[in-house]
Chain A
Amino acid sequence: MKEISELDFPEDLYYTEEHEWARVTDGNVTIGISDYAQDQLGDVVFVEMPASGDQFKKGDAFGTVESVKAVSELYMPIDGEVIRVNQTLEDAPELLNQSPYADGWILEIKPGDASQLETILNRDAYLKMLKES
């Protein structure tokens, strides 16, 4: 596993305490897991995702990531309806390890209340949390 200083945390994302990230693009929000999360999990072997149209509240478990070490739940950073899931992860779960912020995205949602993003962590707050844990 890597040191926190060796990991990548883009500035333009929001982060959760459960290590998901959220990115706003054209009013919609893309969701994935952070570089820290993928590093801690180790090689990801399976990603279980919801279907388009599913509705979730902030904090709801929306899927699971299975690695060689453990199975972990994925939690919604904010309320929203799923409009797209990353189907390529079904055959290539390794994208979560190789490219957590780009090809390894998991969901795109239509946010119920985008202002909820302001209540989760920005890069600095997330980094601070990681360093303190």
Chain B
Amino acid sequence: MSKPLAPTGLNMNEPLLWEMDKPGRTAFSMPRHDVPSAPLHDDLAGDGPDFPDLNEMGVIRHYTRLSQWNFGVDTGMYPLGSCTMKYNPKINEKVSRLKGFAALHPMLPALMTQGALRLMAELERFLAEITAMDAVSLQPAAGAQGELAGMLLIHAYLKSLGVKRSKIIIPDTAHGTNPASAALCGYRPVRVTSGEKGILTPHAVSEVMDEDTAGIMITNPNTLGLFEENIKEIARIVHGKGGQVYCDGANMNAVMGMVHMGNSGVDVLHLNLHKTFSAPHGGGGPGAGPVCVANHLAPFLPVPRIVVKDGVYHLSEAFPQSVGRLHSFLGNFGVMIKAYAYILSMGAEGLKKASQLAVLNANYLKEKLKTVLHLPYDRPCMHECVFSDKFQRDQKITTLDMAKRLMDFGFHPPTIYFPLVVDGAIMIEPTETESLEEIDRFVEAFRIVTREASESPDLLRGSPKRCRVARLDETLAARRPCLMG
């Protein structure tokens, strides 16, 4: 590699805040008290928490230095599969900080927040159009809450028909949170195994679908980065037995404006605004996980819902079949502004193009790496591809070793050991925002790592070498966590 990307510049060692403690040091002055003294109730008295005494500059330097150790999508390529770590355009931030949005008090009445409500109503309409679904709720705060919302909607719908069911079908290529969301709603997850091509077969679904099953939770594209081509037939089987189809839309970045979710038989779908629609996430959250539904589920959407009457936006609770409220106020509004800004700046054609390029980038990377990394499902992928460490096992080099070594080349590691259907999985999602040059650099780095795996395996086992800290003891960190700042 011509020039290493990993920087070794000015970054400082930093003690814990408790180690910087100097009794008496403080960052604020108490105002002189101007009310009469009153006795404090015993229940409120006692020793305070064990906080260190620090001054303002000490604290600012502490966090600024720590922030210099960060790695984010603004630093370099972050190909964390299933997370869609695309670049977050700064125009989104600028728009979300407009005073009318940023300083808006959530308790203001609807008549004084018409702009915000209009933005939300329009965002609902955009998301409905992008997915070809009929109605949308922006309330769920993240993907997993969107999944729960979907389950609650299905449950409420079936209940309205007088139907009680106890199970939900979940393929082994679904997102890991799906079974938990179903279980939280009181359903028992029933696992089905994907077929040889890495996708679900109609046969496997028809074997388990029965009249005690409320429906299926299918991730499409699935966690192998493959499109569930049999979705229409699967939906027909599920509907035939009176079930509903939930689609986990966390991988929507592959198919924005490309797949008519409604026509493919999906009844409810969640989206991750913080992935697909470029709001920051990970350490920079929070998220937003809107649910999009077909018409027959719309009466059950969470309240309050935004309704427009004579050009005025109102918040309405007048939906007696609603599953109720899922979030305080109206959800994570800041995230909605960023997604709205993104959709408007991209436009319909731009969003389609983004998905096409995300798929192209993943396929390019897959073809470039499949000679050095085992590719369990060698067929065109969507927005991500899943390799394994099978070729490296002779040297006893694992996925973890290679992921650690990649950091020495200045890249965030891909997702590892997920999905579980691939042993030693390496899941790479480059996203559409990386350039050809950057992807080539990543490919080159990964090729070097695989070469090192056969020529000098101990180097990999001892990596990372160039990072601030060497291989961390993840086991000790999990078993005996140190929770001090």
Contacts and interface: CB of A to CB of B under 8 A. Distances in A.
Interface of A: 1, 40, 43, 45-46, 66, 68-70, 93-94
A94 B480 CA distance: 12
19 contacts: A1-B396, A1-B398, A40-B423, A43-B474, A43-B475, A43-B478, A45-B475, A45-B478, A45-B479, A46-B478, A66-B478, A68-B474, A68-B475, A70-B417, A70-B418, A70-B420, A93-B479, A94-B475, A94-B479
Interface of B: 393, 396, 398, 400, 416-418, 420, 423, 474-475, 478-479
A45 to B, nearest CB: 4
B173 to A, nearest CB: 15
Contacts of A1: 393, 396, 398
Contacts of B400: 69
Contacts of B398: 1
A94 B473 CA distance: 14
A71 B413 CA distance: 20
A43 B417 CA distance: 14
A40 B423 CA distance: 9
Given A43-B475, A43-B478, A45-B478, 10 more contacts: A1-B393, A40-B423, A45-B475, A45-B479, A46-B478, A68-B474, A69-B416, A70-B417, A70-B420, A94-B479
A1 B392 CA distance: 11
A51 B335 CA distance: 42
A20 B311 CA distance: 64
Nearest to B474: A68
Nearest to B398: A1
Contacts of A69: 400, 416-417
A68 B396 CA distance: 18
Nearest to A91: B479
B359 to A, nearest CB: 28
Nearest to A44: B475
A117 B418 CA distance: 32
A46 B420 CA distance: 19
Contacts of A40: 423
Contacts of A68: 474-475, 478
Contacts of B479: 45, 93-94
A117 B400 CA distance: 37
